[in-house]
Structure 1
Amino acid sequence: MVLVGERPLSVGDVVRVARYREVVALASTAAARVCRAWELAQATARRGSTIYGLTTGVGALRDRSIADAEQAEFNRRLLRSHQVATGPSASEEIARAALLCWLSQLSTGFAPVRPLLLDRLVEALNGGPLPSLRLRGSIGASDLGPNADLAAALYAGVALEPGEGLILLNHSAPTVGLASLGVWDARRLILASELALAASLEAFRANLSPYHRSVARSRPSPSLDRTLDRLHALLAGSVLWDAGNARMLQDPLSFRSGLHLAAAAREALDRAHQVVDRWLNSYQGNPVALVDDGLVLSCSNFESADLSAALDYLRLALVPLLQSSAERVAKLLNERWSGLPTGLMARSGLPESGLSIAEIAAHALATEARLLAYPVSLEAVSGSLAEGIEDRGSFALLGARRLREMIELGWDILAIEAVTAHRALAQRGVTRVGEGVAALLAELDRVLPVDIWNYPLAELFACARAVLEAHCSDSAAEADQFARETEGIDE
């Protein structure tokens, strides 16, 4: 069970609840915090204080007072008027991730809402009707459109009290939920990229001198050390560590720089994980109830520039990882570089193209991934939105959506590399490879047909992808290890 409000929520918790449907409960201490925040807001309003969204309109109508008799209708119409998101409904996994992140930020005790609203979230996560949401149309100054989808469905029939309509809209839970899943899956993709790299090093008969531990000591980096440890485990026992087995003094950079590319991706992942963790346990709304100070203040806690930038950084770091994978495919399929028949046919001179077309597919996918890496945090919004008051946006939800799309492309690129390396090793007749590579090859032997030329290549790639995903486990039990890997990262 994931108990919200008693300890910090983690990325692993989001995976457990969103992907594996783990039961959710709200800690009694969190419920008490929520009650105190609600009571403070109501007492402040009764004293005649002007509170944005509670006693006033929102956005361009911020200076208009809302009479008590208008409140119920105002809140109902507020939700309906903000249902502007477009596109298909998001998956159930994304909806569950968003609901959990929403529950977490409301449980902080800074949101002036009734506990009833949190109870509805818990019910939905534990088997109740799950609201749908659409993800297009957010500028990142809160996910207004997607939030309106969630709130209108989840609180249909609930008479909202003053201020609750705004609080239900003014947060970034869809972004944080999607980013949490993205960070988790990016970690798995990086692990798979290291496995595919190790297999390609074996298949190319690469020179492993760039992977010598002493080289890493000359360029100190925790991410580099973790990557090197993993690659050494994958290549343990390989004949390539023996003198005289490398074919070249210096291999192409896509082979030679693999260590540093994976380490750079791990470092970007660490940063994204740190920022997402912070957002998982922060209040993102406006206004904020500060119980200890006896104040209810307007704020901009929804500003997500840090989250947008961290997701941009991660996508940018994944690009060279995936481009190099595609380039290794091309080198292994080219006789000039690999020393094997072009296309990895049984022998040179045959009229068939073999696997040659795979390099085109890999590079096409890598190009798509590269285009998804453009930093969304560079985008600007019109200064005329809401009569000029909402003139800033981070587009963090777009960044999280693009990360998810990039990861999907990444799995396909790495699957092509795995099939290519598997075929190249079979061509070479290599029998002594690293322990991790040997385990991968055994699984590929099990799922790939002996006569691969009689099958559509896409089917082979799909089989290899399934093997890679299984090797880089999606088990929620790995959440603790994930947390340990990123402990102590400096701000």
Structure 2
Amino acid sequence: MLILDGASLNLEGMKKLLYEKERLTVSAHSLEKVEESRKAVEKIVAEGKIVYGINTGFGKFSDVLIEKEDVAELQRNLIHSHACGVGEPFPEVASRAMLILRTNALLKGYSGVRPLLIEKLVDLINAHIHPVIPQQGSLGASGDLAPLAHLALTLMGEGEVFYKKERVPAANALEEERIEPISLTAKEGLALINGTQAMTAMGVVTYLEAENIAYYADLVSAVTMEGLRGIIDAFDADIHLARGYQEQIDVAARIRQYLKDSRLTTKQGELRVQDAYSIRCIPQVHGATWQTLGYVKDKLEIEMNAATDNPLIFDQGEKVISGGNFHGQPIALAMDFLKVAIAEIANISERRVERLVNPQLNDLPPFLSPSPGLESGAMIMQYTAASLVSENKTLAHPASVDSIPSSANQEDHVSMGTIASRHAYQTIANTRKVLAIEAICALEAAEYRGIDRMASSTHTFLKHVRAFIPPITMDRIFSKDIQKMDEWLKETAKHWNAVTSQ
């Protein structure tokens, strides 16, 4: 059971909540702070103080005063009017992440919601009722308004949800789990939607997959080393210590560990003096991606525990301040950085695929074909990898450099962080497919060299893969192989160490 308290959630905890069926509860102390801020809101309403979002309109309507008897209707109208997302829904796991992150943010006690609202959010999470949230429609400032409005609809018993592997009306799922819908009161609608939880949730899911991809890139490239009889000297610890980047040092160490008992790698001068950069510079390129992952992890874990709505309530209501914590710029930049770093994993992987299939660059059968000419072998796999790499270059264009004013120019600079996080996720999916192609080709090449000469770790990897992808003995529909490898990489990535320990 994981305890949310608004301050200590990390990516390891999110992994347990998203993928390991961990249940959650909330800190009693945090609920006390929530209760204090709620009393402050009720006092503001009772005394008729003018405070943005409690008894005023929103955005450009912030100067419109709302009567005391209309504040509940104001919140309901807010959710209905802002629930205008379009496009395909976010992955269900990202929707679950949004619920968790929104709950954690409200537990900080600055938002003025009732403890009841938080209890309902926890009920949804533990019952695995996940809102259907369209991916498009957020500017990433004033919060992820449209996506989070669709989340809020679920609490009200409206909209659709993912429940028991089906897409159903929210009211049906709530009824089955005996969860009463909630009627939002003063400040609660705004507190639910005024935050960065859509981009951060997508960022969390993307990061966790990116981390796994980075590990797999090291393993797959080690197999490529064997298939091409790569020079192991380039991974010597002294080279990488001489430069000093810890991530580069770590990648080189992993490659050495994978290949420690291989009889397929060579020494410099044995077959050639130097390998191409896509082989020789694996630690430098993969290591730089790991540096980026470290930066992104730091920003995500701060944002996961941040108060990002507006206004925020301090000193038991004595200080209520309108600010801009909803602006997604920190996550927008982090997601754009992540896109570039992961695209480079695919970029260098595709170059290794080319070296595996191009007969002018190796001494393997042309295109790894069992009957060159009659059968094309892996020729078009490289085309597919090249296409995915090219698409990643388009996705890597930074979303955060764009801004379009909204709300009659009141909100005149926005982050586009949710677009950045969505594109980062697409980049991850493309990169995993490129690595799947490299894995298929590398294993084929290593097997051609001799299974008995492979390292223990890479041989274990081969045995795992051969359970569902046979060697290339004739041309077949390789799209199916790529899909199987892609799915296997994604699934086993959650416990990737098992690949080399069994």
Q: TM-score, normalised by structure 1?
A: 0.91
Equivalent in the alignment of 2:40: 40
Structure 1 distance, partners of 2:78, 2:449, is: 67
Give the C-alpha shift of residue 15 in structure 1: 2.6
Match runs of 1:401-440 below 5 Å: 401-429=422-450, 431-440=452-461
Kindly state the Cα deviation for residue 378 of structure 1 after the two structures are TM-superposed.
0.7
1:361 positional shift: 0.9
- 2:496 and 2:489 map into 1 onto residues whose CA distance is 14
The whole-number CA distance in structure 2 between the counterparts of 1:440 and 1:470 is: 14
Residues 96-116 of structure 1 deviation map (CA, whole Å, 9 limit, x = unaligned): 111000000000111111111
Q: How does 1:307-322 map to 2 (within 5 A)?
A: 307-322=331-346
Are 2:353 and 1:352 aligned? no
Q: Are the equivalent residues in 2 in contact too, given 1:182–1:404 (CA < 8 A)? A: yes
Flag structure 1 segments of 5+ consecutive residues without an equivalent.
478-491
- SS of the counterpart of 2:230? coil
Q: Is the 8 A contact 1:206 1:248 kept in 2?
A: no
Give 1:110's aligned residue.
110
Alignment CA distance shift 1:476-1:153 (3 Å): farther
Listed one character per residue, the Cα deviations across residues 136-185 of structure 1 (whole Å, up to 9, x for unaligned) are 01000111111111112212453322222211221121221111111111
The correspondence of residues 170-189 of structure 1 with structure 2, limited to 5 A, is 170-189=194-213
Which residue does 1:449 correspond to in 2?
470
2:298 to 267, 274, 291: 274
Q: Contact 1:208/1:241 (CA < 8 Å) preserved in 2? A: yes
> Shift of the alpha carbon at 1:242?
5.6
**What's the CA shift string for 1:230-266, capped at 9, x where partnerless?**
1121111123566467532122211111111111111
- Distance in 1, matches of 2:147 and 2:497, equals 27
1 CA distance for matches of 2:63 and 2:83? Answer: 23
Q: Please tell me whether the aligned partners of residues 350 and 438 of structure 2 are also in contact (alpha carbons under 8 angstroms).
A: yes
State the Cα distance separating 1:322 from its structure 2 match. Answer: 0.5
Q: For the residues of structure 2 that align with 1:153 and 1:318, how far apart are their CA atoms?
A: 34
In the other structure, the counterpart of 1:394 is 415
Does residue 297 (structure 1) correspond to residue 321 (structure 2)? The answer is yes
Helix, strand or coil for the counterpart of 1:25?
Answer: strand
Residue 373, structure 1, aligned to residue 396, structure 2: yes
- Asked whether the equivalents of residues 12 and 184 of structure 1 are also in contact (C-alpha less than 8 Å), the reply is no
Secondary structure, counterpart of 2:153 in structure 1: helix
Trace 1:86-105 onto structure 2 (pairs within 5 A). Answer: 86-105=86-105
CA RMSD of aligned residues (A): 2.2
When residues 55 and 464 of structure 1 are mapped into structure 2, their CA distance, relative to the original with a 3 A threshold, is closer
Superposition deviation, residue 77 in structure 1: 1.1
Structure 2: distance between partners of 1:284 and 1:132: 22
Which residue of structure 1 aligns with residue 485 of structure 2? 464
Q: CA deviation at 1:49?
A: 3.2
SS class of match (2:453): coil
Matching residue of 1:249: 273
Name the CA shift for 1:65/1:475 in 2 (closer, same or farther; >3 Å): farther
Note closer, same or farther for the CA distance 1:186–1:128 as it changes in structure 2 (3 Å cut): closer
| In structure 2, C-alpha distance between the alignment counterparts of 1:23 and 1:67, rounded to whole Å | 41
Which one of the candidate residues 364, 368, 385 is aligned to 1:362?
385
Q: Please tell me whether residue 23 in structure 1 is matched to residue 44 in structure 2.
A: no
* Distance (Å, rounded) in 1 between the aligned partners of 2:496 and 2:230: 33
Structure 2 stretches lacking a partner, 5+ long:
158-180
Q: Aligned partner of 2:109: which letter?
A: G
Amino acid at match of 1:366: V
| Whole-angstrom CA distance in 2 between matches of 1:74 and 1:48 | 15
Residue 89 (structure 1) shift: 2.7
2:103 is equivalent to residue 79 of structure 1: no
* Equivalent pairs, count: 474
Matched to 1:395, the amino acid is M
SS at the partner of 1:397?
helix
For residue 488 of structure 1, what is the aligned residue in structure 2? none
The percent of aligned pairs where both chains have the same amino acid is 24
Deviation at 1:466, TM superposition (A): 4.3
Partner of 1:327: 351
Q: Which residue of 2 aligns with 1:480?
A: none
Over 3 Å counting, the alpha-carbon distance change for 1:246 and 1:291 in structure 2 is farther
Asked if the contact 2:357–2:378 (Cα under 8 Å) also holds between the matched residues in 1, the reply is yes
Corresponding residue for 2:178? Answer: none
What is the rounded CA distance, in whole Å, between the counterparts of 1:161 and 1:223 in structure 2? 50
- Asked if the contact 1:5–1:104 (Cα under 8 Å) also holds between the matched residues in 2, the reply is yes
Partner of 1:8: 8
Alpha-carbon distance between aligned partners in 1 of 2:278 and 2:74, rounded to the nearest angstrom: 59
SS of 1:473 mapped into structure 2: helix
1:292 Cα deviation from its structure 2 partner: 6.4
Deviations 1:39-72 (Å, cap 9, x if unpaired)?
A: 1233345454321111211111101111012222
Alpha-carbon deviations, 1:204-243, whole Å to 9, x = none? Answer: 1112222111100111012112222211211111235664
Q: Take 2:214 and 2:347, find their aligned partners in 1: how far apart are those partners?
A: 13
Displacement of 1:467 in angstroms is 4.4
**Given the alignment, which residue of 218, 222, 243 partners 1:194?**
218
- Say if 2:335 and 2:420, in contact at 8 Å, map to a contact too: yes
